[in-house]
Amino acid sequence: MMKRRWLTFAGIGLALAVIVALAAAVVAAPRLEAVSPAQGEQVPSGAVVVRLTFSRPVQEVSVAAHVHFAPDVPGKWAVKGSTATFTPSQPWPPSETVTVTVESGLKAANGLPLLKGQTWTFNTMPTMLAYVSPPEGGDIYALAVGEAQATPEQLTHTGGVLDFAPSADGRFVYFSARDGVGVSLFVLDRAAPSASAAVRQVIACGTDQCLSPAPSPDGRWLAYTRGDGPGGAPRVHVLRLEDHQEMPWLPADHSTRAPIWSPEGQLACYDATGKGYLVLAPPDGKTVAFLTNDTGESAAWAPDGRALVAIEMRLIKPSSPNATPNAPSQAPYLAAHLWLYRFAPVQSRTDLTRDPDLEDATPAFSPDGRWLAFGRKALDPAHWTPGRQLWLMHPDGSYAHQVTHAPNKNHLDFAWHPTLPLLAYASTDQTDFTRPPEIWLYNLQTGEQRMLVSNAIMPRWLP
C-alpha cells in the first residue's frame, strides 16, 4: 500500500516536473513581439528595411533561413541582440503588396525555437517623379508617371523651396526653403500619419543660406552647404542625423561646395580653395582621394563608386595645338569639358569631351552604369546654338549620340528612373524667357519623348 502510494506521488511529481520544464521552455522560447513595416502599412518602394523584434536574442543564420518575402528581393540580414534587420540591396517592387512570413522553428541564441510563426503584409508606393513648381518660390510635387492621367500630389506647403533630395529608401525628402531672410533645411516624412506631422525643420540657419542637402545612402549623415549670409562663401557641413552632431570633416578655412555621396557611402565635394574634389569616408571623414579640378562644376558618381565624372572649364587658345581654325572669334575662350576620374587600380583622369569645339555639362550616370547622360552644345560658329542638347554615351566616351534636337532649348537636370529605362530632364527656352520651363521624359527603349509638366524644375525620382 505504501509502495503504491509512493509510486503515485512519484508519478505526480514527475508530471509536475515535466509541466514545469515545458512551461519554462515556453517562457524561454523566443516570441515575435514587433514588426516594421506594420501590417497594412504603406511605405516607399525604395530600400525600406524590415525589422523584427523578438523577446530574446536570436541566431542570424536561423533568421535568414526562416523569414521569407513574396515578392522576394536580394538583401542582407543583420542581428543585434533581439532585433533582426533586413536591408534590401535593390528597391521593393513599386505598387506591390509584400508578404512577410516568419516560420516557426526560428532559433534563439539559447537554441530554443520560435513556437508560433506569423505572416503579415505591407504595401509599397508607386515610384514617383518629384519636382518644384512654380520655379520661383514653389513647393515640391510628385507625379506617378506610369499611371494614366495621374494627378500631381503636393508634398510640401512651405513655399520657397530652392533645392531638395530624397533619401535612398524614398521615405524622407530633405529640402532647402526660404525661412525669413535666410534659407533653412527641412525634412518631409512621406510615411508620417498626418500632413501636419510630415514636415519638420532640421536646421534653423538664421540669416545664412543652407543649400544642396545630400543625405547619405545609409541615412546616417546629411551633407549640405552653408553660406554666411547672402553672398557669403559656402562651406560644406556634415550632420550626423541620429543626434544632430556637426562633424568636423572639412577644413573650416576652405570654401567648399556641391556635396554628393557615392553609392558606397563616400562623400565628394569641391574644394574651391584647394582647387579639386575632396573624397571623404565616414565615420571620421578621412580623406581618401583628392581630384585636381580648377573650376568645380557639376559632378556625378559612377554606380560602382569607383569613378567620378566632373566638369572643368578649360581655356581654349586658338593658337594652341588643340584649337581649330574656326574657333569663336579666334580669341581665347572657356569651354566646359567632362572629365572621368578613376580610383582603381590607379588614380587617373580622362577628358571625355575631347573636342575643343564642344562644351558639355550636367552629367548623370544610369543606375546600371551603362550610360552617361549630359548636355552638349557646339562652340564653333557654324554649329553653335543657344541651347544645349541631351546626349548619351558610354562611360568610356564611346557611342556618343544626340537625343534631343531643339536648338533653342537647354536640357539639364537629368534624372534616371531607379529601375526602368526612363530619363527625366528639365527643358528651358534660351530665346524666350517668358516661356515656363518644362519637365520631359525620355524612354530609351522606344525613343519616345513627352512633356510631363510645365512651369516646373528639378526632376528627382522618389523610389
Domains (ranges, CATH) in the chain? Answer: 29-124 (2.60.40.3710)
pLDDT at 8: 57
Q: What is the mean pLDDT of residues 25-36?
A: 82
Closest CA to 315 of 336, 297, 296: 336
Confidence of residue 237 (pLDDT cuts 50, 70, 90): very high
Confidence of residue 5 (pLDDT cuts 50, 70, 90): low
Taking the CA atoms of residue 199, residue 203, residue 204 and residue 206 in that order, the dihedral angle to the nearest 10 degrees is -140
The C-alpha atoms of residue 422 and residue 427 are separated, in whole angstroms, by 16
Closest CA to 280 of 295, 262, 297, 296: 262
Confidence of residue 186 (pLDDT cuts 50, 70, 90): very high
First to last CA, the chain: 79
Cβ 460 vs Cβ 130: under 8 Å: yes
Average pLDDT, the chain: 89
pLDDT at 7: 53
Adjacency order of strands within the sheet including 276-281: 256-261, 267-271, 276-281, 286-292
Q: Which helix (H) or strand (E) holds 66?
A: helix 60-66
Q: What is the mean pLDDT of residues 390-415?
A: 97
Q: What is the mean pLDDT of residues 24-49?
A: 83
Whether the predicted pLDDT of 448 surpasses 70: yes
Joined grid coordinates for residue 384: 553653335
The C-alpha atoms of residue 47 and residue 66 are separated, in whole angstroms, by 21
463 contact partners, CB below 8 Å, separation of at least 6: 44, 45, 46, 47, 91, 94, 127, 166, 168, 169, 170, 418
The C-alpha atoms of residue 372 and residue 359 are separated, in whole angstroms, by 15
Closest CA to 117 of 134, 101, 129: 101
Q: What is the mean pLDDT of residues 75-96?
A: 92
Q: What is the mean pLDDT of residues 57-83?
A: 96
Q: pLDDT, tens digit, for every residue of 120-154?
A: 999 998 899 999 999 998 999 999 987 666 789 99
Joined grid coordinates for residue 112: 530554443
The C-alpha atoms of residue 241 and residue 237 are separated, in whole angstroms, by 12
The C-alpha atoms of residue 210 and residue 174 are separated, in whole angstroms, by 12
Query: 342 forms bridges with which residues in the sheet?
Result: 307, 348
pTM: 0.83
The C-alpha atoms of residue 341 and residue 111 are separated, in whole angstroms, by 51
Q: Which residue has the cell 554666411?
A: 228
Q: What angle do CA 314, 315, 320 make, to 5 degrees?
A: 115
Length of the chain: 463
Q: pLDDT, tens digit, for every residue of 241-259?
A: 999 999 999 988 999 999 9
Confidence of residue 323 (pLDDT cuts 50, 70, 90): very low
Percent of the chain with pLDDT over 70: 89
Confidence of residue 445 (pLDDT cuts 50, 70, 90): very high
Q: Any idea which of 146-150, 239-243, 348-352, 437-441 has the lowest mean pLDDT? A: 146-150
Q: pLDDT, tens digit, for every residue of 268-321?
A: 999 999 999 999 999 999 999 999 999 988 999 999 999 999 999 888 776 545
The C-alpha atoms of residue 457 and residue 436 are separated, in whole angstroms, by 9
pLDDT at 327: 44
Amino acid identity at 314:
R
Q: What is the DSSP letter of 204?
A: -
Closest CA to 66 of 102, 118, 100, 108: 102
Whether the predicted pLDDT of 366 surpasses 80: yes
Indicate the pairing of strand 42-43 with strand 118-124.
parallel
Confidence of residue 13 (pLDDT cuts 50, 70, 90): low
Confidence of residue 191 (pLDDT cuts 50, 70, 90): confident
pLDDT at 419: 87
The C-alpha atoms of residue 216 and residue 227 are separated, in whole angstroms, by 21
Q: What is the mean pLDDT of residues 428-440?
A: 96
Q: Which residue has the cell 537554441?
A: 111
The C-alpha atoms of residue 152 and residue 134 are separated, in whole angstroms, by 13
The C-alpha atoms of residue 410 and residue 426 are separated, in whole angstroms, by 8
pLDDT at 23: 44
More confident residue, 177 or 12: 177
The C-alpha atoms of residue 322 and residue 165 are separated, in whole angstroms, by 39
Burial grade of 372 (CB within 10 A; 0-12, 13-18, 19 or more): buried
Cβ 1 vs Cβ 18: under 8 Å: no
